[in-house]
């Protein structure tokens, strides 16, 4: 008979706790309004209007949408894994498109580390940024010994393909097991290993619930410490689970309409990311609050990009048929918020 441990000391909400839910609703409303109104205005909240925040549902963001499209244009397991890791290493659509233009075909069977390295080195020499600023991936230079960060990352990808990590991932029995596989490789700290796990789980090669496992990143931890004065016996991950479990109750308590992705409620990954975004939001509206990251400003300001929005989610979620025709029209994914 399993033993269940009861957490005796519960977390204590802070004075700004409710901002978590108000932010979630406001940010999602911007996303929904933009589907029918590409020009705005979408909000009278200056903090949301002037600064860049990700969508509250991770899969609806521009980069995630581009990745999901890549994944579902392939059927081979190794190719899906290869494209996913290659894309996520740089996490930048423009970098991946550059490789496609220069190579013609991005395929694991023809992967050449020197060729990819030369192309990316040339792009850097032409003063193009090849990595996204969203998060920093350690270089793994001590392991692979190359001069440039991107060369080490290409070597990492080559090693993973040689080790047939794709097969190990497919055989995994849980989301946490996939996470541990990735975590065993250099450059993958706990935060990035979890994020990449979610990205692989978008694809057809694995199919685990996003409610199974979560890892709190540095930004989320900072947001949690702003929204809670005390955590009690709860871990950061426990707090994220608490938010998921109480989302309907909390929105009803605050008189808010529960935000959903065409019926799909906030998952653990979404609530984890939301804490990171709320941490940023509070830097603007409550600058006197000190977060654990020490950051006092938001890195990216919002830049307007107009145009239609096209959405596509993993078919296994069974929500694509619920999207309005406007969401399904062919569009340039560069217009995603």
Q: Tell me what pLDDT residue 50 has.
A: 86
CB 319 within 8 A of CB 264: yes
**Structural Rg of the chain based on CA atoms:** 20
Alpha carbon distance 280, 130 (integer Å):
24
Residue 52 burial (CB count, 10 A): 14
- What is the pLDDT averaged over residues 104-110? 94
pLDDT in tens, 231-245: 999 999 999 999 999
Contacts for 78 with CB less than 8 Å, ≥ 6 apart = 108, 161, 164, 166
Q: Is residue 7 part of a domain?
A: no
Does residue 106 have a pLDDT over 60?
yes
Alpha carbon distance 279, 17 (integer Å):
11
Q: Is residue 328 part of a domain?
A: yes
Same domain, 169 and 246: no
pTM of model > 0.85: yes
Alpha carbon distance 221, 331 (integer Å):
36
- What's the mean per-residue pLDDT of the chain? 90
- What is the pLDDT averaged over residues 116-126? 98
Q: Is residue 1 part of a domain?
A: no
Which domain range does residue 181 map to?
A: 73-202
Same domain, 273 and 331: yes
Same domain, 252 and 289: yes
Same domain, 57 and 87: no
Matching residue, tokens 């939001």 = 281
Q: Tell me what pLDDT residue 329 has.
A: 44
From 61, 33, 30, 62, select the one nearest 333 (Cα to Cα). 62
Same domain, 80 and 154: yes
Q: Calculate what percentage of the chain has a pLDDT beyond 90.
A: 76
Of 178, 202, 226, the residue at which a domain comes to its end is: 202
Q: Is residue 67 part of a domain?
A: no
Same domain, 114 and 194: yes
Same domain, 172 and 247: no
From 36, 67, 55, select the one nearest 261 (Cα to Cα). 55
Same domain, 52 and 147: no
Confidence of residue 7 (pLDDT cuts 50, 70, 90): low
Q: Calculate what percentage of the chain has a pLDDT beyond 70.
A: 88
Of 202, 221, 240, the residue at which a domain comes to its end is: 202
Q: Is residue 244 part of a domain?
A: yes
Does residue 299 have a pLDDT over 70?
no
Does residue 334 have a pLDDT over 50?
no
Same domain, 254 and 189: no
Q: Tell me what pLDDT residue 337 has.
A: 39
Q: Is residue 219 part of a domain?
A: yes
Q: How far is CA 293 from CA 69, 183, 269, in A?
A: 33, 22, 20
> What angle is formed at CA 23 by the lines to CA 17 and CA 26, rounded to 5 degrees?
150
Q: Is residue 132 part of a domain?
A: yes
pLDDT in tens, 148-165: 999 999 999 999 999 999
Domains held by the chain: number: 2
Q: Is residue 6 part of a domain?
A: no
pLDDT in tens, 21-35: 999 999 999 999 888
Of 172, 202, 232, the residue at which a domain comes to its end is: 202
Does residue 336 have a pLDDT over 80?
no
Same domain, 77 and 198: yes
Same domain, 79 and 119: yes
Find the range with the poorest average confidence among 53-57, 300-304, 324-328.
300-304
CB 277 within 8 A of CB 53: yes
Confidence of residue 4 (pLDDT cuts 50, 70, 90): low
Same domain, 58 and 89: no
- What is the pLDDT averaged over residues 292-307? 55
> Cα-flanking dihedrals φ and ψ of residue 228, to 5°?
-130, 130
Matching residue, tokens 């909400």 = 13
215: left (phi over 0), alpha (psi -120 to 50) or beta: beta
pLDDT in tens, 38-73: 776 788 888 888 888 999 999 999 999 999 999 999
């Amino acid at each position: 008979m399993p033993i269940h441990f009861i957490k005796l000391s519960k977390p204590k909400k802070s004075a700004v706790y409710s901002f978590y839910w108000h932010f979630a609703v406001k940010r999602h409303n911007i996303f929904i309004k933009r589907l029918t109104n590409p020009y705005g205005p979408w909000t009278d909240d200056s903090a949301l209007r002037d600064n860049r925040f990700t969508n509250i549902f991770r899969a609806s963001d521009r980069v995630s949408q581009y990745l999901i499209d890549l994944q579902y244009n392939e059927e081979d397991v190794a190719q899906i894994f290869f494209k996913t890791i290659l894309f996520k290493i740089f996490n930048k659509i423009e970098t991946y498109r550059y490789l496609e233009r220069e190579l013609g075909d991005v395929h694991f069977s023809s992967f050449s580390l020197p060729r990819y390295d030369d192309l990316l080195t040339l792009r850097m020499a032409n003063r193009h940024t090849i990595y996204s600023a969203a998060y920093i991936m350690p270089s793994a230079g001590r392991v692979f010994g190359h001069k440039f960060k991107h060369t080490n990352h290409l070597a990492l990808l080559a090693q993973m393909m040689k080790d047939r990590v794709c097969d190990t991932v497919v055989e995994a029995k849980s989301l946490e097991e996939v996470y541990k596989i990735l975590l065993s490789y250099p450059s993958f700290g706990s935060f990035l290993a979890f994020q990449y796990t979610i990205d692989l789980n978008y694809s057809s090669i694995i199919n685990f619930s996003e409610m199974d496992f979560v890892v709190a990143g540095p930004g989320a931890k900072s947001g949690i410490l702003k929204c809670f004065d005390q955590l009690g016996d709860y871990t950061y991950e426990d707090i994220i689970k608490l938010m998921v479990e109480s989302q309907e109750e909390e929105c009803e308590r605050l008189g808010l309409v529960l935000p959903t992705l065409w019926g799909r409620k906030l998952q653990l990954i979404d609530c984890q990311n939301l804490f990171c975004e709320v941490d940023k939001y509070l830097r603007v509206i409550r600058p006197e609050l000190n977060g654990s990251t020490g950051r006092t400003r938001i890195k990216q300001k919002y830049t307007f990009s107009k145009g239609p929005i096209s959405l596509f989610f993993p078919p296994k979620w069974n929500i694509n048929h619920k999207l309005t025709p406007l969401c399904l029209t062919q569009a340039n994914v560069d217009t995603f918020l």
